Chain A
Amino acid sequence: MADHAHRAAWMQASLLIASIAVLVIVLVIRLQRPFDRDTLAIQVEELQSQSAEAALLARNAMGDRLAPGFVRQHVQQLDDAGGRVWESLHSKPASPDLTAALARAQQLASTLHAILNPWSTDAARAAQSIVPLDDLAQRLAALDHQLKPAD
């Protein structure tokens, strides 16, 4: 009886480990796959969202509706979020037909950081950030539309 239970336990353990291994392998393969239209568009949309939100933040800061400390910290958090997207864009290549689009997205991610980083330490930069951020959001929206025209 104990032997039977032991054998059953080994069988179940083997099945469980095999299932987990398959799941992990599938996940790793999926995550390591080069950017396709869908996955690259996700990153671009995130950057566009962050740019647009930063522009809104700047407008409300100019309207004196926000505490300066909140503005600086929110900009910092947006910059950190943008940094995560930047790292993701530089973590793997894109499929051959999307190489140019990936390079463009990387460049725009760097532009976002270049606007947000100085602003996160100097709240007075809100005014001069609005136009560049609006422009950046539009360029990212255009890139997104280029990647997924149907949406």
Chain B
Amino acid sequence: MSRILEIFLGILTAMGGFVEIGELTFMMNAGSLFNYRLLWVVVIGVVGIIVYGEIAGRIAAVRGQAVFNVVRERAGIRLGLLTLVAATLVCLLTCAAEIGAIAMLWELVTAWPYRLLLVLGLVFFLLVIWFLPFKAIERVFGLMGLLMTVFIVVAWKMHPDWSQATAGLVPSIPAVSSDKQLLYAYYAVALVSSVMLPYETYFYASGAIEDRWTPRDINLNRIIVIVGFALGGVLAAALMSIGSQFLGPHQIEAGLPGTAGLAAASEMGRAGLWLALIGMFFAFAGAAIETAMSSAYDVCQFFGWRWGKFCPPRTAPRFVLSWGIVLLLATLIVMTGVDPIKVVEYSIIFSVVILPLTYFPLMAISRDADVMGVYVNGVVANTLGWLYFVLICIAAVAAIPLLVLTHGGQG
């Protein structure tokens, strides 16, 4: 395939796969509660995922090793195993939430029982990951997830307040009660985490190895993360705008996937509704697949087991069993009747707690000239990388206290 086409598809795939149910909910609620005042956090989060996505992709292209190989080498067995257990739990919870959200979407369309739809969802994902090639999984769910751009159109048609939006790019503390300020801080941490979810780097780096990237692909990596994730950030900002324009005036909190569909329908009628529902399905399904496969990648890379869709399944059975077990456990979690939106909210907060454990080894390797040769971090990657590391450490420390003080993020 020509290089241009590969770059183009890579960018679109990165954009289409950017948003999942947690990010959608948090962005819309942030807009509903605080208008555009948290827009600066979206920008910070997007730059952060660009920085670490680029580093993870570069390490994969140069070293041929993915994130958890690096974690094992640099953090050792004890800290590495703690990181692995925490990362796998977070991926499992996120996967559960995505499967639950998809069942809720299907319920809106079919009126079939929720638990039956969960089982159908499980079967669907097992078959998709088993039969579809890696490239097809990436492209289908990434490109069809681009239907989520309907929300950009919807946000535009709602005539956003551009002066407020511009003001929202500047960090500020709103003049509200102390309870609401705590909630603001909680949402700031949650939004950073929802944009910089660790499974995105795990899947991205592992995917680079599935795609057999070499140092020749480093520029491809840079273009995809910078342009693709930036466009994904535009979609996230559009969701915040919809929250502000559509939900905020009525003090509505988005707690169901159908709320986003309703917002799309209010401006674009049934066509908007269907585009939103189909776009959300592919976006959430992509996230469910990515989290399941990320768990399997992580476990196999850490223990040195054969992994990858490029391997015939019978030669990498522990990889196959890993993603299969994660999908099964995720389905069982939502079968208990727990609200998938609540599950993903908690998993997003716990994700930020483990981010420093994931990103430190990446920084350690990427700045090691013995390992990376001429592809070692430049001044920009080093500066931004360490700046963001400090930032996510602060967020990691603040996350749990804020979760408690805001009664689970509800005020």
Q: Which of B75-83, B134-142, B247-255, B382-390 contacts A (4 or more CB under 8 A)?
A: B247-255
Closest 6 pairs between A and B when the two form their complex, measured CB to CB: A52-B250, A74-B258, A150-B177, A42-B410, A73-B108, A65-B269
User: Among A84, A148, A150, which residue has its beta carbon within 8 angstroms of that of B339?
Assistant: A84
Interface status of A2 (Cβ within 8 A of chain B): no
Interface residues on B, range: 20 to 34
Interface status of A100 (Cβ within 8 A of chain B): no
20 A-B residue pairs with Cβ-Cβ distance under 8 Å, sorted by A, are A41-B411, A53-B252, A60-B265, A64-B269, A65-B265, A65-B269, A66-B262, A66-B270, A67-B273, A69-B111, A70-B261, A70-B277, A73-B108, A74-B262, A77-B104, A77-B107, A77-B256, A78-B256, A81-B339, A150-B179
| Chain A residue, CB-CB nearest to B266 | A60
Structural contact, B108 and A52, CB atoms closer than 8 A: no
Interface string of B271-287 (1 = CB under 8 A from A): 01100010000000000
Interface residues of B (CB under 8 A from A): 104, 107-109, 111, 176-177, 179-180, 250-253, 255-256, 258-259, 261-262, 265-266, 269-270, 272-273, 277, 339, 407, 410-411
Instruction: List residues 39-66 of chain A with CB under 8 A from any CB of chain B.
Output: 39, 41-42, 45-46, 48-49, 52-53, 55-57, 60, 64-66
- List, in ascending order, chain A residues with CB within 8 A of B109's CB: 69-70, 73
The dominant DSSP class at the A interface is: helix
- List, in ascending order, chain B residues with CB within 8 A of A65's CB: 265-266, 269-270, 272-273
Structural contact, B111 and A73, CB atoms closer than 8 A: yes
Interface residues of A (CB under 8 A from B): 38-39, 41-42, 45-46, 48-49, 52-53, 55-57, 60, 64-67, 69-70, 72-74, 77-78, 81, 84, 137, 141, 148, 150-151
- List, in ascending order, chain B residues with CB within 8 A of A137's CB: 250
The smallest C-beta distance from B251 to any residue of chain A, in angstroms, reads 6
How many Å lie between the Cα of A137 and that of B176 in the bound state?
23
The smallest C-beta distance from A34 to any residue of chain B, in angstroms, reads 14
Structural contact, B262 and A57, CB atoms closer than 8 A: yes
How many Å lie between the Cα of A137 and that of B247 in the bound state?
14
The dominant DSSP class at the B interface is: helix
Structural contact, B339 and A56, CB atoms closer than 8 A: no
User: Among A48, A77, A141, A151, which residue has its beta carbon within 8 angstroms of that of B108?
Assistant: A77
Q: Residue among A46, A73, A78 with the most chain B CB within 10 A? A: A73
How many Å lie between the Cα of A45 and that of B277 in the bound state?
26
The smallest C-beta distance from B239 to any residue of chain A, in angstroms, reads 16
How many Å lie between the Cα of A55 and that of B266 in the bound state?
13
| Chain A residue, CB-CB nearest to B404 | A30
Structural contact, B111 and A49, CB atoms closer than 8 A: no
Structural contact, A49 and B253, CB atoms closer than 8 A: yes
Structural contact, B111 and A38, CB atoms closer than 8 A: no
Task: Using known A-B contacts A66-B262, A73-B107, A73-B111, determine if residue A46 contacts B252 with beta carbons closer than 8 Å.
Answer: no
